[in-house]
Amino acid sequence: MGESTARRPLCAPVDPSLSMPVLSPPLRSPSMPPTPWPLPPLLQASAVLHLGAVLALLTVPAHWAWVLAALALNHAVLTACGLWPCSTALGANLLRLPAAAVARREVALTIDDGPDPEVTPAVLDLLDAAGAKATFFCIADRAAAHPALLNEIRRRGHSVQNHSQHHRHTFSLLGPRGFAREIDAAQATFTALTGEAPTLFRAPAGLRNPFLAPVLHRRGLTLTSWTRRAFDTRATDPQPVLDRLTGGLAAGDILLLHDGNAARRADGRPLVLAVLPALLAAFRQAGLRPVTVPEALRVTP
């Protein structure tokens, strides 16, 4: 990766000087009654297009090829938005921390796919040594297999949030009922293990489709993506990973690393353990304070 690429955020273009996150909804407790889901403009336009297609087929059936082409293009756009983790076209998606967190010089380090009995304890020790807090988006099945480790994450002052029950590769292909089953199962698992229901959700690999947002909205969960991503599940060299996280680093950023599914260096050491000390040092040098996402949003469970 060239220098100019390494120093750009790896998500939707966000001006770090802006104090507002991109389409970050005000969080509410899952116990609060849901308000109507605000249909995004793209989906409003898609609904109008589908209605128009039906009318066109009824009134000018000879133009069926053009109608199908328009629908195919529409579905291609919807698919592309679902495959772009930092898209906000399908609904609210938290990409950066809000203005108050920026003013406090806060950043959010998020760690996905654990807990892992080998890697997570070492990650916790590195965070403790730096006085840093992180948000662990955990897979509920793995949490159920390592309940003591899950509670150790919380005991040390970090946040545990929902990263689905099974982390299926086909997650983005689910419909409303499939999303509901997967998310509800994870919420139940985390609540049973910790006594507290998550308020944030991160889709596996960040991939989704238009049916996810209303499911999350009804459950009071906020879709949380990132400002910059390390791609540390594929790399073997820590320096490019660190460059992707620190190039242009700014207050309000949400950064993504992995304790589960962590790539290994040539010597077999998990890559995250090589990257994390330097990343935490970069926070200190920039005068940034790593906090949990709920702390940055000032969410009271």
Residues involved in catalysis? 112, 258
* Alpha helix segments (H runs only) across the chain: 3-6, 41-59, 64-83, 99-103, 119-130, 140-145, 147-155, 176-194, 212-218, 238-246, 271-286, 293-297
Residues 6 or more apart whose CB falls under 8 angstroms from that of 173 comprise 209
- Give the C-alpha separation, 181 to 140, whole Å: 13
β-strand partners of 256: 110, 229
Distance CA 251, CA 236 (A): 28
Q: What residue type is assigned to position 278 of the chain?
A: A
- Distance, in Å, from the CA atom of 100 to the CA atom of 259, rounded to the nearest integer, reads 29
DSSP 96: B
Number of H helices, E strands in the chain: 12, 8
Q: What is the DSSP letter of 63?
A: G
